């Protein structure tokens, strides 16, 4: 389909149910979930464990065939913690798994299929359980991970840094740096004095922004009908 034929009133009703589901069920999986979470397909997201905290205006996009997974493991000598700041974007297929501590700052962006872990999950010689193979991971404010990036234990990625798609990060990345490859190496430096637009600017007036998105949907979908929506599924044409 080239456009959404769903009637606006039906999308508005679906959105209202989605917000109710998030507040009544989904939010209970977190130790804390900040205000105005925007979660696509929350029933497909897999949230497991204690000590998972997420800030305000998170944008979490999960899909049934490519879910977002946030997992903090508990066991003998281990207890995971995941803390995610404000205004973060988490795309489909992203997995964040903690046995000790993963801290993610404000305005961070995860493209699809990212993997972040603070543990090797098995020792080199004792492969029955994690043993001395956990080190905290820190992503400072405004970090951007490209498609399919892997971040290993003990890594700190500095503020504003970007990791290119498909990279494997096994060592610290300085602030204001673009890295890429396996293992990730420095590609270029960013100018820290240049003005940078961050995701937080979308939500300077958070409630107003969400209202504007609703008005845009109402305008774009104003001519849609149930009959036209059903027809687009049963008898699609090139104008759909």
Q: Which of the residues are catalytic?
A: 122
- For residue 215, the 8-state DSSP code is H
Cβ neighbours around 235 below 10 Å, total: 8
| Contact (Cβ atoms closer than 8 angstroms) between residue 156 and residue 171 | no
| Contact (Cβ atoms closer than 8 angstroms) between residue 132 and residue 125 | no
DSSP H or E run through 211: helix 206-220
Q: Which residues of 51-78 are buried (b: 16+ CB within 10 A; e: fewer)?
A: ebebbbbbbbbbeeeebbebbbbeeeeb
Taking only Cα atoms into account, the Rg of the chain, rounded to an integer number of angstroms, comes to: 20
């Amino acid at each position: 389909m080239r456009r959404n034929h769903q009637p606006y009133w039906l999308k508005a009703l679906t959105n209202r149910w989605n917000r109710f589901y998030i507040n009544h069920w989904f939010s209970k999986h977190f130790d804390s979930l900040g205000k105005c979470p925007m979660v696509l397909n929350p029933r497909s997201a897999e949230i497991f464990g204690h000590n998972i905290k997420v800030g305000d205006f998170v944008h979490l996009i999960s899909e049934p065939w490519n879910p977002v997974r946030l997992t903090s493991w508990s066991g003998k000598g281990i207890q995971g913690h995941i803390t995610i700041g404000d205004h973060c974007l988490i795309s489909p297929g992203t997995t964040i798994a903690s046995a000790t501590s993963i801290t993610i700052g404000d305005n961070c962006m995860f493209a699809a299929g990212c993997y972040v872990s603070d543990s090797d999950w098995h020792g080199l010689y004792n492969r029955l359980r994690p043993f001395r193979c956990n080190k905290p991971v820190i992503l400072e404010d405004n970090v951007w991970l490209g498609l399919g990036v892997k971040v290993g234990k003990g890594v700190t990625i500095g503020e504003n840094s970007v990791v290119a798609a498909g990279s494997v990060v096994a060592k610290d990345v300085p602030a204001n740096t673009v890295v890429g490859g396996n293992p990730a190496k420095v590609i270029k430096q960013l100018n820290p004095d240049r003005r940078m637009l961050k995701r937080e600017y979308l939500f300077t007036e958070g409630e107003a922004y969400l209202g504007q998105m609703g008005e845009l949907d109402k305008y774009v979908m104003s001519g849609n009908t149930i009959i036209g929506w059903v027809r687009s599924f049963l008898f699609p044409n090139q104008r759909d």
